[in-house]
Amino acid sequence: MTAPTSVTLPAPVTPPEPSELAYVPFVSVHDMMALVRSRGIERTIAALADRIEDCFRRWPDFHRVARVPSHSRDGVIELMPTSDGDHYGFKYVNGHPANMARGYQTVTAFGVLARVDTGYPVLLSEMTVLTALRTAATSVVAAKHLAPKDATVMGMIGAGAQCEFQALGFHHVLGIREIRLHDVDPAATAKAARNLQGTGLRVVECATPEDAVAGAQIVTTCTADKRNATVLSDNMVGAGVHLNAIGGDCPGKTELARDILLRADIFVEHPEQTRVEGEIQQLDPDHPVTELWRVVTGQAPGRTGRDQITLFDSVGFAVEDFAALTWVHDAVRDGAAHERLDLLADPDDPRDLFGMLMRSG
Ligand code: NAD
């Protein structure tokens, strides 16, 4: 066999735009807030829900792996990668429940979107605000398929950073009219109630979790505590309720009494990840669960009866972050504010990286 004299590299399917080679757009927290305020928070959650549903419809196209965690005494740092073959994305995210007492966020994040054909990043974005929006959007997608159609009241336990996003998503997309809030810290409940004033939601501050779930057709648990907590006990969950369990998302960190899980039909994102991180870590490894994307595509039933208890055992999966990053990327291409990052070395002769360094003086 003769060795080839030259190597012909495949041309990218869609050539990069000149700006994609010159700089990497960076969407800061400031830029993200401006973008979301200009579009409207509720409309942003709805748009992200559409994106996420879209990605769930083409779930088999995605390279799916459980996120890579690095656990420590106070929390976890995780990398969440995925690709649909055209683009690759990852999120860096932490979860540190003890941070709140230090005056820090429990969850912070940033992420990258890159072209698969060149490997060049096309977006670097803050994702702390974006995660709260995409988590609400994912909850809404699940509830659209699983919650009772006539639901108007949601009980919400945990009134921290995620709370208002969840409340607004359910109000805007699913028509929830009343939110019954409870947090172990009354100051957090009061904060969320204050923030939700004027949104059209009737907000009821509840002194106990029992009061928060009374009369609710949907119950969202969104607490942060690095232990197997019992935010909801079995007797607090009646027939027909949809549970949107957000806070149990790490080994040894759950919110629901095990008996509830045994009475519920359970829906998950990526089973391999949820069995380690979600509420179902309390169950046998072969306990039946349904993947949410199968419900979205009509391959599996969602809610089938009035008395059925449905549980979305949410932990957050890379495909949702990928969907959110593509939405931000489109917004940047439509002119949304961003900074230009000099992130990629760009010598005139791609092989002359050294010469570029020397010429820089
Ligand atoms: P946060 O620290 O801002 O708020 C948590 C709130 O829970 C606090 O106000 C705290 O007082 C309250 N709380 C703790 N234990 C409670 C209890 N037993 N009963 C009632 N309230 C209680 O955290 P956050 O950013 O709002 O996140 C909430 C949870 O959601 C975290 O556990 C986080 O890891 C998780 N999360 C999940 C996803 C997902 O995709 N599933 C995404 C983001 C965050």
Mean pLDDT of the chain: 95
The better pLDDT of the pair 59, 7 is held by 59
Count of beta carbons in the 10 Å neighbourhood of residue 199: 16
- Cα(169)–Cα(277) distance, integer angstroms: 24
Q: Is 15 a residue whose pLDDT tops 90?
A: no
Mean pLDDT of 9-22: 64
The pLDDT of residue 4 is 47
- The tens digit of pLDDT for each residue in 23-38 reads 999 999 999 999 999 9
Cβ of 159 below 6 Å from ligand 1: yes
Atom of ligand 1 nearest to the CA of 106: 2
| Residue 127 alpha carbon to ligand 1 centre in Å | 17
Cβ of 116 below 6 Å from ligand 1: no
| Residue 95 alpha carbon to ligand 1 centre in Å | 10
Three-state secondary structure call for residue 78: strand
- The tens digit of pLDDT for each residue in 104-113 reads 999 999 999 9
Question: What's the pTM value of the predicted model, to 2 decimals?
Answer: 0.95
The pLDDT of residue 3 is 45
Cβ of 109 below 6 Å from ligand 1: no
How far is CA 41 from its chain centroid? 15
| Per-residue pLDDT band at 169 (split at 50, 70, 90) | very high
Count of beta carbons in the 10 Å neighbourhood of residue 295: 21
The pLDDT of residue 361 is 83
| Residue 221 alpha carbon to ligand 1 centre in Å | 8
DSSP state string for 187-238:
HHHHHHHHHTTTSS-EEEE-SSHHHHHTT-SEEEE----SSEEEEE-GGG--
Name the amino acid, one letter, at 69.
Answer: P
Mean pLDDT of 143-149: 98
Nearest to 130 by CA among 321, 272, 1, 262: 321
Q: What residue segments make up the domains of the chain, in order of their start?
A: 21-129+319-344, 136-316
Atom of ligand 1 nearest to the CA of 250: 34
| Residue 223 alpha carbon to ligand 1 centre in Å | 3
| Residue 106 alpha carbon to ligand 1 centre in Å | 8
Q: Is 21 a residue whose pLDDT tops 70?
A: no
Cβ of 210 below 6 Å from ligand 1: no
- Cα(155)–Cα(167) distance, integer angstroms: 10
The torsion angle over the Cα atoms of residues 97, 100, 101 and 102, rounded to 10 degrees, is 110
Give catalytic residue positions. 249
The better pLDDT of the pair 21, 256 is held by 256
Cβ of 337 below 6 Å from ligand 1: no
Question: Which protein residue's CA is at the shortest distance from atom 8 of ligand 1?
Answer: 160
The pLDDT of residue 7 is 55
CATH code: domain 136-316 is 3.40.50.720
How far is CA 185 from its chain centroid? 25
Three-state secondary structure call for residue 266: strand
Cβ of 82 below 6 Å from ligand 1: no
- For the chain, give the percent of residues with pLDDT over 70: 94
* Domain 21-129+319-344 architecture: 2-Layer Sandwich (3.30)
| Residue 300 alpha carbon to ligand 1 centre in Å | 30
Please report where in the chains the tokens 């659209």 appear, as a residue: 144
Question: Which protein residue's CA is at the shortest distance from atom 20 of ligand 1?
Answer: 183
The pLDDT of residue 226 is 87
| Per-residue pLDDT band at 2 (split at 50, 70, 90) | very low
Atom of ligand 1 nearest to the CA of 253: 32
The pLDDT of residue 349 is 96
- Cα(56)–Cα(73) distance, integer angstroms: 34
Question: Which protein residue's CA is at the shortest distance from atom 25 of ligand 1?
Answer: 161
The pLDDT of residue 12 is 55
Residue whose CB lies within 8 A of the most ligand 1 atoms, among 45, 183, 208, for a mutation test = 183
- The tens digit of pLDDT for each residue in 57-91 reads 999 999 999 999 999 999 999 999 999 999 999 99
Three-state secondary structure call for residue 287: coil
Are 208 and 233 within 8 A, CB to CB? no
| Per-residue pLDDT band at 8 (split at 50, 70, 90) | low
Asked, colleague to colleague, whether 21-129+319-344 and 136-316 share their fold, the answer is no
The pLDDT of residue 11 is 55
| Per-residue pLDDT band at 189 (split at 50, 70, 90) | very high
Mean pLDDT of 30-48: 98
Question: Which protein residue's CA is at the shortest distance from atom 36 of ligand 1?
Answer: 247
- Cα(346)–Cα(356) distance, integer angstroms: 8
